[in-house]
């Protein structure tokens, strides 16, 4: 197994949220500014045809060590203990985040999105259009605790 690899951010989040609070992420739109030394506006050509984008990012402000085992989501004793790979917490291995956001607008090399759960200054690693063909196929299931956790998230 490889010991590591280098990644370069494609852009940065500029948002009204400064703290990684757990809920209410739809309330504040976020801008993603591409790194114009690497990408021009042409890199976004055609993206305006999509309603949603998937943003992969690095949780740069997380100061806790990555979780590698199991825990109760948000520390709630009424929720089951589950492994880190059965939840979407920010203190996960490699501190990687992935969120499907509504694309609100494109202007030059800047995207404005809603529903991006990343704070101001977050490095963006990739941006992908959401295609229906990549959404879950067949029956979908999730535990009740996950549904409850997400009630106020957006």
Catalogue all structural domains in the chain, each as residue range(s) with its CATH number. 11-150 (2.40.30.70)
CB 110 within 8 A of CB 33: yes
Q: Cα-Cα-Cα-Cα dihedral of 89, 14, 153, 83, to 10°?
A: -10
pLDDT tens digits, 47-88: 999 999 999 999 998 888 888 899 898 889 999 999 999 998
Q: Which phi and psi angles does 103 have, rounded to 5°? A: -85, 115
Rounded to two decimals, the pTM is 0.90
pLDDT of residue 66: 86
């Amino acid at each position: 197994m490889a010991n590591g690899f280098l990644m370069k951010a494609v852009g940065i989040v500029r948002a009204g949220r400064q703290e990684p609070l757990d809920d209410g992420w739809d309330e504040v739109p976020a801008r993603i500014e591409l790194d114009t030394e690497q990408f021009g506006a042409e890199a976004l050509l055609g993206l305006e045809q999509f309603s949603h984008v998937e943003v992969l990012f690095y949780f740069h402000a997380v100061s806790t060590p990555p979780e590698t085992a199991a825990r109760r989501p948000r520390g709630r004793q009424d929720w089951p203990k589950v492994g880190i790979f059965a939840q979407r917490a920010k203190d996960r291995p490699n501190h990687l985040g992935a969120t499907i956001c509504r694309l609100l607008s494109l202007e030059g090399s800047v995207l404005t999105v809603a529903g991006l759960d990343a704070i101001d200054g977050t490095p963006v690693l990739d941006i992908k259009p959401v295609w229906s063909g990549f959404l879950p196929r067949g029956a979908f299931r999730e535990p009740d605790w996950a549904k409850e956790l997400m009630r106020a998230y957006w």
